[in-house]
Each structure stands twice: as structure tokens, then as C-alpha cells.
Chains A and B, each alone.
Chain A
Amino acid sequence: MWSLINNLVSPKKFFSLSNKLLPWLTALFLLSFSYGIIGGLILSPADYLQGDGFRIIYVHAPCAFLSLFIYAVMAAAAFTAIVWRLKMAFMVIRHSAPIGAGFTFLALLTGSLWGKPMWGTWWIWDARLTSELILLFMYLGIMLFQSASAHKSSGERATAILVLVGFIDIPIIHYSVYWWNTLHQGATLKLFAPSAIDNSMLYPLLAMITAFMIYYGIVLFLRMCYELTALEANHHWLRKSS
């Protein structure tokens, strides 16, 4: 475990580790994504109430999960960055924000496309939808704040603090369906209780969530590797590995 953390915090070791991991991650992503999409569109039966319209869950739920997961990763990186001032942690925040913003936007868009035929409306100021929209604004605010910071080091620390402050929205999004009377349904997947859907529908959903998490890892590695090459271009270890 410590060896893995050591590999991730050192730019040189991260670079070498990510180059080795990328082909494996890509293969794993293609495998789980193919199973997820075939399972979601063909293998799983239509829902008894929503018919084939329920198949939107296979893209909506992973996007919504990733929007929260990426923010949690950013918050962990922000804490690490503030306490230990690690360059890699600041990079994780910088490169995760646009990916997280994309997934949050997609969660809202696919939710809207699901809401229209099922609820009869594209949008409603429901607690879950509103708190997810606030998350999108948080991501956009972080990205704008980063690009507007004149002094890089102090700007990065301020961004990390902003990320930590914004973390309050994550439990609000998760528990919004329990705290308020919402139109949005409760959680389909539960960690400590049986899931609310049949296994034939559940496995493709889990595969899609896994695929999206791997995808996040791949894109983050690609973005960070490029920045490392730009930042560390004159370093001896990089010249050797390229």
C-alpha cells in the first residue's frame, strides 16, 4: 500500500507507473464497457413500469456516481495538498475538475432526458436535481478560479481550500432524497442492503460504473502525464524514459 502511494506521489514513479498501467486499464475499460452496454441495451429485460425507457439508467447512474466520486477524489487530493504540499495532489485537482464537470453535466442532461417521459417535465427544482446543479457550478467555479489565479502556488492552495469547502454538497446530494420529499427516486444501489433491482439489470449497471471509473483513471493519467512532460521536460529521468 505504502509502495503504491509512494509511486503515485513522485512524478518520476507516477510517470513510469501510468505508462505501464494505461494499456491494462484500456483493456479493462473496453471489456467492462462492452459488457455493460450490451447488457444494458440488449440482455436486461424491459422494466415492468418504465418499459425500455429505464435503460437510460445505464448511462445516467454511472455519470451521477462519477460526478460525486471525482469530487471526493479531488477533496482527498485537496486535503493532501494542503497538509503535505504535494505537487501531484494539486495536479489531480486541476485535471479532475473538467472531467468531473463533464460527468455532472451529463448526469443532468441524461436525467432530464429520462425525466421528460417519466415525470412529464425536463426539469424541476427538486432537492436532488438542484444540489447536483450546485455541484456543476462548484466544478465550473473551481476551473474558473484556477485559470484566474495570478500567483500559481497561492492560487493552488486557495483552490484546494475551495474544493474542501465545496465538499459539503456531496452528502447533501446523496441524502437529499431521504431528507426532503423529492420527485427523484431513492438510491437503487445500496452498500449495506440488497439492491432495489434484479441481478439481470444490476450486473450491467455495476459493469458500467466500473468502466466509467476506469475511464476516469485513463483520462486523468493521460492529462497528468502530458503536464508532467511539460513541467519536467528538462529532467534527466524524463529524457531517459522517452
Chain B
Amino acid sequence: MTDTLLHFFHMGGYGFYVWGSYGSVLVFLLVQWFLPWRRWQQYQKKQKLTHEQNS
């Protein structure tokens, strides 16, 4: 099991290049989605609170 995992992460000697590529893309995708999503959620929460206070 450990050998299979090590073999997988080693990527035939290209591990650094393959995981470096996938890692940088995943970090970018997460950050680029998370920032506007969080801003949008915070806005909606704020709107709900204001609506509740007004009513």
C-alpha cells in the first residue's frame, strides 16, 4: 500500500513538476472562487440582518 502511494507521488521521477503544477492550479482555483464567494455570503448575511432589524 505504502509502496503504491510512494510510486504514485513519485510520478516516475516527475513528482516535483507534476505536483507543483497541480498544486499551483488548485490553490489559484480555490482562492479565486473563495474570495468573491465569501464577499457574497457576507453581503447576504448583512442584508438579512438589516431586513430583520427593520421588520
Write the residues of chain A forming the contact surface with B, with a CB cutoff of 8 angstroms.
37, 41-42, 46, 51-53, 55-56, 59-60, 63, 99, 102, 106, 109-110, 113-114, 116-117, 215, 218-219, 222-223, 225-226, 229, 242
Contacts and interface: CB of A to CB of B under 8 A. Distances in A.
Nearest to A42: B8
B33 A113 contact: no
A117 B17 contact: yes
A240 B9 CA distance: 52
B21 A59 contact: yes
B38 to A, nearest CB: 10
**At the interface, is chain A mostly helix, strand, loop or mixed?**
helix
Contacts of B17: 53, 56, 113-114, 116-117
Contacts, number: 68
B21 A242 contact: no
B24 A222 contact: no
A223 B36 CA distance: 6
Contact of B32 (A55, A63, A102, A229): A102
B55 to A, nearest CB: 12
A112 to B, nearest CB: 9
